[in-house]
A and B are shown apart, each in its own frame.
Chain A
């Protein structure tokens, strides 16, 4: 099983600031099969990024995914009020696993 470790656990930022979230895998994620999701309270996760760097339909370009191998990053260029949420990474190069999440909270 590939274990995904997200850091930091929480990030306190102000609207307009840049957020950088990390996801590190215990083994190489084949074909950069890594996705990112956003989850707000009481809602299901929402797909943001797939294939490490491809934005899902309707996702604003302030969300950027990057990385390969074992190290992946989600960057949010300028935080909007609706971006404060929990973010999860997920790998699908083998039996799917998720990271434990990073909470982006308002400072």
Chain B
């Protein structure tokens, strides 16, 4: 059974960089079958896909966040990471990592079959 666990600071000051790590267990990030994604959920409950990465390092980003986001993978530790720069209060959310499975006919994106429990990040001074 695949499990994902997010970790990182729960409080970040405005203008600083948010950094989170997701540790994957029960499966290898290097399996080559899946993308690995970051998704956030605002306090008002809306969900927003942030970015994903393939084990090779290939990435895609949400166009609305692309200028501020970096996603990376460490296959030796079976981890993926997220950095979001220049944060504001609008970035306050629960951040999830998730395994992303591509559609039956392929394509660049997929659906999310395993999720971490999520970690709340609050942006405040």
User: Which positions in A face B, CB cutoff 8 Å?
Assistant: 1, 30-31, 33, 35, 37, 43-47, 50-51, 56, 86, 88, 90, 92-98, 100-101
Q: Which residues of B contact A (CB under 8 A)?
A: 45-49, 60, 62-63, 96, 98, 101, 103-105, 107, 109-113, 115-118
In the complex, which residues of chain B have a beta carbon less than 8 angstroms from the beta carbon of A47?
Answer: 111-113
Q: Which residue of B lies closest to A57 (CB)?
A: B113
| A103 CB to nearest chain B CB (Å) | 9
Would you call B45 and A86 a contact (CB within 8 A)? Answer: yes
A98/B118 contact (C-beta < 8 A), A56-B113, A92-B111, A93-B109 known: no
Q: Given A33-B103, A95-B60, A95-B62: A100 and B111 within 8 A (CB)?
A: no
Whether the Cβ atoms of A98 and B110 lie closer than 8 Å is: no
Whose C-beta in chain B lies nearest to the C-beta of A49? Answer: B111
Chain B residues positioned under 8 Å from A93 (CB to CB): 103, 107, 109
